[in-house]
Structure 1
Amino acid sequence: MTVLRRWAALFLMGGALILQQNVVQGQTINHKLEPYLKSANLPAVAAAVVERGVLTEYGAVGTRKMGADIPVTVFDKFHLGSDGKAMTATLAGMMIEEGKLKWDSTLGDVFPELKKSMAPGVEKVTLEQLLSHTSGMRADDENLMKLLKDSFDVDGDLNDQRYWLLKESVKLPLVAEPSKAWAYNNRGYTIAGAMIERVSGKPWDELIVERIFEPFELTTAGLGTQSTLGKIDAPLGHVIQKDGKVKSYMAGPNADNSMILGPAGCVHLSILDLATWAGWNAGNGTRMPCNIVSPKMVEKIHSPVFTIKGDKPARPGTPPNGKYAHGWGWLTVDWAPYPLLYHAGSNGKNLAQVWIDKEKDIAIVVMTNIGGVKADEALRSIAKELYEDAVAQY
């Protein structure tokens, strides 16, 4: 993606947006996004298109807080939700290429001191099964909610708390035979994060900054709520309450998932930084920073592991059907000639989607600061419109 840094005031010139030292090449699409604010009752929405590694379209419209006049920009940070899982899978790929892990590394291999406490079969659960939601371990249930609540009494840093969650989780019986069933599992990704922490010797939170945010120059990327405590300096997350009213959430403990679940999805960043990440994936890791992992590893991360046969509507931010890889999925839609690489994420108050056509090297990213089915449908409609416009030139 072409982003040049300069000192400048805010204005539009020749299709390039100039704001606070940044010049963004491409065409603004605010006019395409504006109608969705009203039709889907979105506080704000941002989107971008990357074609063959070049940012071609971008936009951000709406307000940081519903009912307030605080316009968003393309540099505003939105919450990525479970789209962060692909970053965790990429960290795992780094550990594998460095010889510290293998796709078939087991919990017993990485945590031998816990073998005696592991329920039958848990010892043999592999890294790949955890990253593909096929581990057979208990998923997002009442036990996980209790552990997250109890974790506040566990002393130490987040990696210490993840290790504690791991110790408590491996005692639980498997609910399915590994590799034979698929169940969306934030617990599993948190455990995969603990495996990465053990072999690297560093907290996942430190690794993702050092090994992804900094090399990609994702200057807006961070962890946790996108806004600062006491400030509306980023789009606030919103929910639709039972009475139909929209409630915004200032930064605080209820504005995001527990940070223990970081490996499963607690990243925030701007639409432009998300476009950089998506464009790199669309190019199979062949563009800068090309020394992160090999193109062969990127291809492996994108490779399907399990076919999802969903007969019920999936909650926003989770894959409804198709083939699941490692964080990423492959989704068939009626507006594309073949399955697209897809990733969606939501913490319930924000929503993000990434759509990639690897054959044409096109990436489309869309984000909003509200959760729910209506928002999910709106983001899909935006992706459809942008994709059809992008492929029309081929």
Structure 2
Amino acid sequence: MDELLRRFVQRRRVSAVTAALVPAEGPVEEHVVGVRRRGSRDPALVSDRWHIGSCTKTSTAALWGRLVELGHAEWDMPLGQALADLDGDMHPDWTGQTVDSVFWCRAGFKANLSPDQMKQAWDDSRPLADQRTDAARQALGDPPDRPGEVSYSNLGLIVVGAAIDRLAGATFEQALDTHVLAPLGIESAGFGPPGEIWGHPARFRFGDFGLLAGPPADPSDPFSDNPAVFSAAGTMHITMADWAKFVRVFMVGGSNLLRDSTVDHLLQTPHGGEYGMAMGWLRTRTLPGAAYVMQGSNTMWSTAALIDSDRRHAVLVACNDGRNRVLNGTARLAARLLTDSGGTRQ
């Protein structure tokens, strides 16, 4: 595996990449190649934490599933019920939209906060629960945009975080630790850029497209990640070993954190579809060996996680570079490693 990772570093011109082969049971195989930031001689280590971006959404979904099991939430829970105190502020067209439809990216939320809201969020030092409430109130005050159609949304997960603040009797971050991370023995997870490894944005960015390798992003700079209010949508950092513990929740025989029926619901695509967006995961047939995939990027990091159709083999890949070609490359690298490790797809 080290040779594949070395070729990835050279061809993609990144400073470091790491990968983990995760069987449902047994030891996890971890590898890392490269240095912690471009221009540094400090080697990246298997014990380092990596920013996983939107792969965070699967942990938010797992938390929602656990809250359903505990009786604090429900499948297909209407947004007006999950955010009862904001019901009077909701546009009437949100009637009928549920938390499930938010995870499926079919509720009609815009992709992100507006540019002005983003600027304000980076400067906002209020408690995150208050910030999520304001974001939810503003989002729900406007009518949904093409509900029922798939439209990927970080904003929708911020709204789910606001619902969890209300239903869990604790903040989203506290509830995630209490009900998901701590029971799995995960201690390295946190939010925002990790301190030891630095992310790298593209040198030039045109909308969603990044071009050429850029300089390292100092994690003390608030712009080195999305605003903190995005925590439920995509700002988690974690070691590969701990990420493997979490991904095993979705693998057969990998964990007893959630009931089998809960995991099945989280992996189910809407309306009985064979492929499409599930709750944090994408059911796919486009990557060799993979049946379920999630990817994440805050434009400075790139990650991919793949599980085979038997749900007995998974591969995790993370890289501290957020260019589009790197993000696409992490998925292809993960697929190669999954196929080589014996992963199967129907």
Q: TM-score, normalised by structure 2?
A: 0.91
For 2:197, the equivalent position in structure 1 comes to 235
Within the alignment, does 1:219 sit opposite 2:187 as a pair?
yes
- Give the total of aligned pairs: 338
| Equivalent residue in structure 1 for 2:258, among 277, 293, 296 | 293
For 2:178, the equivalent position in structure 1 comes to 210
For structure 2, which runs of at least 5 residues remain unmatched after alignment?
A: 205-210
8 Å contact kept, 1:120–1:174: no
Structure 2 Cα separation of the partners of residues 81 and 105 of structure 1: 26
Matches within 5 A, 1:11-50: 29-50=1-22
SS at match of 1:125: coil
For 2:161, the equivalent position in structure 1 comes to 193
Moved more, 270-279 or 191-200: 270-279
Percent identity (aligned): 23
| One-letter amino acid of the structure 2 residue matched with residue 217 of structure 1 | G
For 1:271, the equivalent position in structure 2 comes to 240
Moved more, 247-256 or 237-246: 237-246
8 Å contact kept, 1:307–1:323: no
For 2:141, the equivalent position in structure 1 comes to 171
For 2:267, the equivalent position in structure 1 comes to 302
Listed one character per residue, the Cα deviations across residues 84-113 of structure 1 (whole Å, up to 9, x for unaligned) are 100001111111112221122112113333
Moved more, 242-251 or 197-206: 242-251
Listed one character per residue, the Cα deviations across residues 136-172 of structure 1 (whole Å, up to 9, x for unaligned) are 13332xx533223334676731011101111111111
Structure 2 Cα separation of the partners of residues 206 and 357 of structure 1: 31
8 Å contact kept, 1:48–1:366: yes
| Equivalent residue in structure 1 for 2:30, among 50, 58, 63 | 58
Structure 1 Cα separation of the partners of residues 321 and 250 of structure 2: 26
8 Å contact kept, 2:154–2:233: yes
| Equivalent residue in structure 1 for 2:222, among 253, 257, 274 | 253
8 Å contact kept, 2:20–2:317: yes
Structure possessing the higher relative contact order (Cα contacts under 8 Å, 6 or more residues apart): 2
The structure in which a higher percent of residues are helix is 2
8 Å contact kept, 1:78–1:369: yes
8 Å contact kept, 1:351–1:368: yes
Quickly say closer, same or farther: Cα 1:31–1:199, change in 2 above 3 A: same
Quickly say closer, same or farther: Cα 1:237–1:97, change in 2 above 3 A: same
Listed one character per residue, the Cα deviations across residues 14-49 of structure 1 (whole Å, up to 9, x for unaligned) are xxxxxxxxxxxxxxx323311111111111000011
| One-letter amino acid of the structure 2 residue matched with residue 344 of structure 1 | Q
Quickly say closer, same or farther: Cα 1:56–1:245, change in 2 above 3 A: closer
8 Å contact kept, 1:48–1:55: no
Quickly say closer, same or farther: Cα 1:245–1:280, change in 2 above 3 A: closer
For 2:208, the equivalent position in structure 1 comes to none
Within the alignment, does 1:281 sit opposite 2:250 as a pair?
yes
For structure 1, which runs of at least 5 residues remain unmatched after alignment?
A: 1-28, 228-233, 309-320
Quickly say closer, same or farther: Cα 1:157–1:385, change in 2 above 3 A: same
8 Å contact kept, 1:101–1:199: yes
CA RMSD of aligned residues (A): 2.3
Within the alignment, does 1:391 sit opposite 2:335 as a pair?
no
Deviation at residue 360 of structure 1 after TM alignment: 5.4
